[in-house]
Amino acid sequence: MTYALDHAEFRRISRLPASARLEEFLARVALHQQVWGLRSAGGWAVIDAEGEDCFPVWPHPDFASAWAVGDLADCTPQAIALDAWLKKWTPGMEADGTLVLVFPTNDDDDEGLVMEAEELAKELRCAGG
């Protein structure tokens, strides 16, 4: 079940610098046990960031929806259980060299933090995930 996120909270968090959004991401994912990605009929959204495949993730579907514009306009947010993220997704992304783009927003020049999947998994485990 998704928790409500009011407009003021959405705007406040969206305007945070990337490092502060990472902290929000870690806390909210640990609390709600879900990572959100974007998915279309063709599969999960993976973007190119400086020649690297990156899987963008958010702590709430509203943030993912707001980023689903342009080439990603046909995508909708989909939850990934944190347990599955840590046990299945992280090793899979490590194996194929896919990085994670953590909590990008349309309000920020430095879109989000790019991390290795295992690095993010360690952060999530430390946060209580």
pLDDT score recorded for residue 108: 55
pLDDT tens for each residue of 10-47: 999 999 999 999 999 999 999 999 999 999 999 999 99
Q: Domain coordinates of the chain in residue numbers?
A: 8-126
Each residue's pLDDT tens digit, 77-105: 999 999 999 999 999 999 999 999 999 99
- Looking at the domain that runs over 8-126, which CATH code has it been given? 3.40.1350.90
Do 77 and 64 touch, CB atoms closer than 8 A?
yes
Contact 84, 49 (CB under 8 A): no
Question: pLDDT-derived band of residue 5, with 50, 70 and 90 as boundaries?
Answer: confident
Residue with tokens 């998994």: 121
**CA 57, 115, 92 angle in degrees (round to 5)?**
75
Type of residue at 37 = G
The answer, yes or no, to whether residue 9 has pLDDT greater than 70, is: yes
H or E stretch including 90? helix 90-96
